[in-house]
Amino acid sequence: MTARRRLPRELALYALAGLMLSVWAFPVLWALLTSFKSERDVLAYPPVWWFTPTLAHYREVLTGPSSIVPNLLSSLIVTVATTALTLLFAVPAAYALARLRYPGRRASGFYVLATQMLPPVGLIIPYYLALQRIGALDSYFGLVLIYLTFSLPFAIWLLVTYFEDVPLEMEEAALLDRAGRWGALWHVVLPQVRGGIAVTTVFVFLNAWNEFLFAVVLGGNRVRPVTVAMFNFISVEQTQWAKLAAGAMVAMAPVILIGLLAQRHIVKGLTVGAVKGGGRR
C-alpha cells in the first residue's frame, strides 16, 4: 500500500523534472540541429525537420575565413588566468573570514556581499577610463584584472560556507600537533572542502567564459573572446544562423567537458552543506 501511494508522487516528480529538463535542453537541441542545416533550411517556414546534415558550417568556424579558433584561445587564456588567480586569493580570504577573528571582519564580509549587488553596466565607464589611464585596454592583463573584480567576491562568498562547515575540532587537533595555521589549512581543511573548491572553480570558469559586456567594451582586435567573436556572423544585411549555431556549439564544448570531468566533485560539493550543516559556527 505504501508503494502504491508513493508511485503517483514519484511519477509527478519525474514528470516535473522532465519538464524542467526539456525547457533547458530545447534551445540547445534546436541550436545543434540548426548547426547541421543549410542556410536555406534554417530560414524555411514551417521549420524543416528532415534535412541532409552538413558539416560545412563547422569547417567554416574552425578552419575557414571566419574561424573562431583564435578567439577560443583568447577566451581560454583569460578564463584560465581569471580562475587560477581567483582561487589563489579566494581560498585564504574565505578561510580568514570563516575562522579568524579580527577587527573589521564583519565589515569586510559585508563588503564582499555588497560587491555582488553592483550592476555591471554601471561600472563599464569607470573601468574603461581606469584601463585607458594605465594603458591596459585590449590586453589580457586588463581583462583578467576586471574579471577578478566580480569573480573574486563571488568565490569568497561561496567558499566561506564550505570552510564554516568543516568541524573546528579537526583544525584544533592539527594546531595542537604544531602543524601551524598554514599547515592545518593545507593538510586538514583543504581536503575537506575540495568539493566546494571544485564547485567554485566551475562557476568562476563559467562566468568568465560566458562574460560578454566587459569583453566587448574593454577588449578589441588583440584580445577578442569567443562571445564577442560570435558577432562576426551577425550583420545589418544578414544573420548567418547556421554558422552562429555551429560557433555556439564549439564555444560550449569546453564548458560541457569541464562539467562532465568535475561532475562527481560538483555533486559532492553541493551536498556537503546538507551533510555537515550542524558543524557551522
Partners of 239 in the beta sheet?
Answer: 234
Distance of CA 178 to the CA centre of its chain: 38
The pLDDT value recorded for residue 280 is 42
* Confidence bin at 127 (pLDDT 50/70/90): very high
The pLDDT value recorded for residue 132 is 92
Mean pLDDT within 183-193? 80
**Can you give the pTM of this predicted structure?**
0.81
A 10 A CB-CB count for 110 gives 11
The ranges assigned to domains in the chain are 66-279
The region, left, alpha or beta by phi > 0 then psi within -120 to 50, assigned to residue 104 is: left
Closest C-alpha among 133, 161, 171 to residue 275: 161
Mean pLDDT is lowest, of 6-20, 148-162, 254-268, for: 254-268
pLDDT per residue as tens digits for the range 190-236: 888 888 888 888 889 989 999 999 999 998 888 999 999 888 888 77
269 Cβ neighbours under 8 A, 6+ residues apart: 162, 194, 195, 196, 197, 198, 199
Q: Is the peptide bond before 8 cis (omega within 30 degrees of 0)?
A: no
Calpha distance 170→162 (Å, rounded): 14
* Confidence bin at 277 (pLDDT 50/70/90): very low
The pLDDT value recorded for residue 101 is 76
Under a CB-based contact definition with an 8 Å cutoff, are residues 35 and 249 in contact? yes
| Inter-helix orientation angle 194-210/241-261, to 10° | 170
pLDDT at 153 over 50: yes
Calpha distance 259→51 (Å, rounded): 31
Which residue's C-alpha cell is 578561510?
95
Mean pLDDT within 227-249? 86
Fill in the DSSP letter of residue 277: G
pLDDT at 281 over 50: no
Mean pLDDT within 143-154? 92
Calpha distance 217→228 (Å, rounded): 10
Calpha distance 35→29 (Å, rounded): 10
Calpha distance 186→147 (Å, rounded): 27
Mean pLDDT is lowest, of 18-22, 108-112, 146-150, 236-240, for: 108-112
| Topology of the domain covering 66-279 | MetI-like fold (1.10.3720)
Closest C-alpha among 202, 73, 203, 212 to residue 140: 73
Percent of the chain clearing pLDDT 90 (strictly above) = 26
Tell me the average pLDDT of the chain: 83
